[in-house]
Amino acid sequence: MTAHTSAALVLEDGRIFRGEPYGAVGHTLGEVVFSTGMTGYQETLTDPSYHRQIVVQTAPQIGNTGWNDEDDESARIWVAGYAVRDPARVPSNWRSRRSLDDELQRQGIVGISGLDTRTLTRHVREFGAMRGGIFSGHDIRSDEEMVDKVVASAGMVGADLAGDVTTAEPYVVPAVGEKRFTVAALDLGIKSNTPRMMAQRGIEVHVLPLSSSLDEVLSVNPDGVFLSNGPGDPATTDQQVELTRQVLDRKLPLFGICFGNQILGRALGRGTYKLRYGHRGINIPVIDAETGKVAITAQNHGFAVEGEPGERFDTDFGRAMVSHHCANDGSVEGLRLLDGPAFSVQYHPEAAAGPHDAAPLFDQFVDLMTETR
């Protein structure tokens, strides 16, 4: 077998892309999705929302700045597999400690390089994010066997994954400077930068396991409740939806991001559905329905809340609206309760690599807690 055919990315519909092993050698299964971010691969790889997904980078050159000890969004790499076109042979950055390839190997993450990521991305864009696998070295099998393995694997619809990534024990991120507020943050796969951005605004953040009850949330005496991002299908979050409804009932200020937006949407009576290929990148335009302003945002989601741009609707907690939508496809990007202190966005105001247009949403949360006090 030549080096050129020593790794394969296999899709459930039978399409196979050949390349070379990158990172660990072996095999892995997951949902194949693409990200258009040209920078921030370390944050992408360590974002718990990517659990069980094989990430394809559309940017052809990845790994140029190596791997550092500062930018991780969690304690480990969560992606199930990694596919890149042209990895850096020599990383170069003053913060780099090792190469991306070394780090993938160290953490046992199976990857593939040298494949045609452009054709692969166009395929996923047309036929949708689907199950796939990367096979390399001794784990390469006949095409038929590899496709069979992929077809036998679990898909993303109905996947209940946040339990795999949540914290086992509560922990506290102290406020920077004077403490002004306490927030109970439900960890469905929270990224390190989220508590950090709240802490910078004088918030003491109590990060709680995803199965926390209302009593456990109230025991930290919160001024507000936060729902984090996270992996899997939002249709599996019944327990968190119920908790959210209890929080809305008590009129405690609530802010949700991504998975949190989907949970608030469900708590307000909306359904969620799987997008064809999702939104993953750091330049996705979002329109604020009330002001008409556009923000360029970082995103990583495969599901969305049902709704129309600017739509107003009745809920068990008063009127609500679709506050933001995507300029590309019109899908729901934000929700706001008009008769209560709750809002959420489908994108990432905490994005470290990426635009900062949405960062003021954390200030909006602070304002909401100030008004509600």
Ligand X SMILES: NC(=O)CC[C@H](N)C(=O)O
Of these, 66, 230, 281, 334, which contacts ligand X (CB under 6 A)? 230
Q: Is residue 279 near ligand X by the rule CB under 6 A? A: no
Q: Is residue 302 near ligand X by the rule CB under 6 A? A: yes
- Return the number of the residue (117 or 299) whose C-beta is nearest ligand X: 299
126 is catalytic: no
Smallest distance from ligand X to CB 112, Å: 22
Q: For residue 250, give every residue at least 6 positions away whose Cβ sits within 8 Å of its Cβ, in sequence order, or none.
A: none
Number of residues interacting with ligand X: please give it, by CB under 6 A. Answer: 12
Q: Which of 31, 43, 258, 325 is catalytic?
A: 258
325 is catalytic: no
Of these, 49, 57, 194, 344, which contacts ligand X (CB under 6 A)? 49
348 is catalytic: yes
Of these, 42, 46, 192, 229, which contacts ligand X (CB under 6 A)? 229
Of these, 19, 91, 232, 307, which contacts ligand X (CB under 6 A)? 232
- Return the number of the residue (204 or 333) whose C-beta is nearest ligand X: 333
Smallest distance from ligand X to CB 300, Å: 4
Q: Is residue 300 near ligand X by the rule CB under 6 A? A: yes
- Interacting residue ranges for ligand X, rule: CB under 6 A: 49, 229-232, 234, 258-259, 300-303
- Residues with a catalytic annotation lie at 258, 348, 350
